[in-house]
Structure 1
Amino acid sequence: MSDQRRNLFFYYHPNKELDEKLEPLFQLARDNEFQIVEHSKDANIIVAVGGDGTFLQAVRKTGFRQDCLYVGVRSKNEAGLYCDFDIDDHDEMVASMRNAEVEVRKFPVIEATVNNESTYHCLNECSVRSTLIKSIDIDVYIDDLHFETFRGDGLIVATPTGSTGYNKSVQGAVVDPKLPCFQVSELASLNNNRFRTLGSSFILSGERALTLNVRQDGNDHPIIGLDNEAYSIRNIKELTIKLSDHVIRTVKLKNNTYWDRVKRTFL
């Protein structure tokens, strides 16, 4: 670990049990010349303690920082795609950082712009779903091509790392994060003589732009899911999604690839 990266910010949801588990880690970090800071803006290493959900929240709440590293630490004995370290292995964590037994991995990020106004970033996925008990109609454009008109429960646009979550649960493909791309998957599409969709997930190059035009038929403010947070934004007419120039830099143990994690999690 670079000598310049010594300021740690811990992001977690405090509770008595977790506080007790973290105290030895705090002390071990101090003993090894790391400084624990109170504000994320002062950190160059942000440590998310919990699980994949907490890691996603840490990235979002700290503003998708481009000038720092993110570290995922599991607080429970469960598999995770973003968390390399276990909270009970304090010595391994610090020794790995000091002895350069870690590598930096870059995860792609997508950006979603609503009505050409507000832009949001996503590390996992952006989803569009109806707030009403009825189907939602969406005109789907790839670049300037009208590709299809979707009717159903909604659409998921996932990054490669997000492909193993919500996207996978609707039979989307698991994608290698080294590929600069994003994936579009359907939620309960209706196919008939009037509406016709591809009927399967499809993957777009990072050079493409995806535009979703929501038809104004009562679904004027659908639920927009950004990673593990939901937003109800009024009067959504257009949602443009593309691969961002941003990447999230995370710390990983050597010999622990993305596909090692996928195998450990699902097989």
Structure 2
Amino acid sequence: MDTRKNLYFYYKKDEDLIKKLEPLFEFIKQKGFEIVENSEDANIIISVGGDGEFLQAVRHSYFRQDCLYLGIKQQDEAGLYCDFDIDHYDSMVESMEDNSLEVRRFPIIDVTINGESTFHCLNEAAVRSAIIKTIVIDVFIDDNHFERFRGDGLIVATPTGSTGYNKSIAGGAVIDPKLPCFQVSEIASLNNNRYRTLGSSFVLNEDRKLRLEIIQDGNDYPIIGLDNEAYSIRNIHSLTIQLSDKRIKTVKLKNNSFWDRVQRTFL
């Protein structure tokens, strides 16, 4: 960590938050670190504001592979991606100085819409009906038809994203981020004598390809959620989702594993 001295901070320009950050900025400069104005010039990108801001920091810096990401949260914010607390910033800087941080690599998924535009997701991709009507989706695994889904929508989550929308809305499993995989979970599926789906989440290995074909039955404008951003894209016909060969490098304190944070957050 001693060669990584250029820091970029991503945060909401809130007056109260800026006042809280001023002592941190001063402390960092005293320790020999430089705060840069452009994320492209940084080798450590620091988000302030919990998991939501962390996801935004990664997305707005284009999922860089040549830097480290670090998260700081406030006391009342969720922070599964964030090891540090804004009220104890000195411990963060000291950890950066004495190399007591460990690098971990989180998998991301690639989402290609209509065979054209590809987006990265660190947490999840979700497709949901935008009107008061069920959405119908043909699900293919490695180009083999698996099922026809009818319900409110589907969530495709990374291992780290498994603790978010996937768990809270769809009751999906929490997946260890050391497993290179992604999970598919149903949102309010219809299961009766006419319509039948698996009825539970399922996990796909890193070499699998998932394709979701939207049945054009009048519900042709679904909401696509990519991490914590929603897109309304017209005439969506298909989404192809695979585990990316890219990894987001984040830092964590020693003895503070993913499961330590899951325990603190949920138990």
Amino acid at match of 2:220: D
Q: Partner letter of residue 139 of structure 2?
A: V
Pair 1:119 & 2:129 matched: no
Contact persistence 1:111–1:121 (CA under 8 A) = yes
Contact 1:123 1:162 (C-alpha < 8 Å) held by counterparts: yes
CA distance in 2, matches of 1:234, 1:11: 31
Provide the C-alpha distance between the structure 2 equivalents of 1:264 and 1:95, rounded to a whole number of angstroms: 23
TM superposition shift of 1:127: 0.2
CA contact (8 A) 1:9 1:47 kept: yes
Cα RMSD after superposing both structures: 0.9
The TM-score with structure 2 as length reference comes to: 0.98
CA contact (8 A) 1:50 1:76 kept: no
- 8 Å contact kept, 1:51–1:83: yes
1:47 to partner: Cα distance = 0.4
Identify unmatched segments of 5+ residues in structure 2: none
1:91 — aligned with what? 90
TM-score relative to the length of structure 1:
0.98
In structure 2, distance between residues paired with 1:159 and 1:2: 31
Are the aligned partners of 2:51 and 2:78 in contact in 1 as well (CA < 8 Å)?
no
Give the distance between the partners of 2:264 and 2:55, measured in 1 at CA. 20
4+ residue stretches of structure 1 with deviation over 6 A?
Answer: none
Q: Is the 8 A contact 1:29 1:35 kept in 2?
A: yes
Kindly tell me the number of residue pairs found equivalent between the two proteins.
Answer: 266
1:79, CA displacement in angstroms?
Answer: 4.3
Alignment map for 1:134-145 (pairs within 5 Å): 134-145=133-144
Q: Which amino acid aligns with 1:52?
A: D
Unaligned 5+ runs, structure 1: none
Shift of 1:191: 1.3
| Distance across 1 between alignment mates of 2:206 and 2:233 | 26
Shift of 1:101: 0.8
| 3-state SS of 2:221 partner | coil
Write the letter of the residue equivalent to 1:17: D
In the alignment, the residues of structure 2 paired with residue 177 and residue 95 of structure 1 have an alpha-carbon distance, to the nearest angstrom, of 27
Q: 2:18 is paired with a residue of what secondary structure?
A: helix
Q: Distance in 2 between matches of 1:73 and 1:19?
A: 14
Partner of 1:211: 211
Identity across the alignment (%)? 69
Amino acid at match of 1:221: Y
Task: Judge conservation of contact 2:49–2:77 (CA < 8 Å) in 1.
Answer: no
What is the identity, as a one-letter code, of the residue corresponding to 1:230?
A: A
Matched residue SS, 1:89: helix
Report what 2:193 is aligned to.
193
Per the TM alignment, residue 194 of structure 1 is displaced from its structure 2 partner at its CA by 2.9
Aligned equivalents of 2:256, 2:195: Cα separation in 1: 44
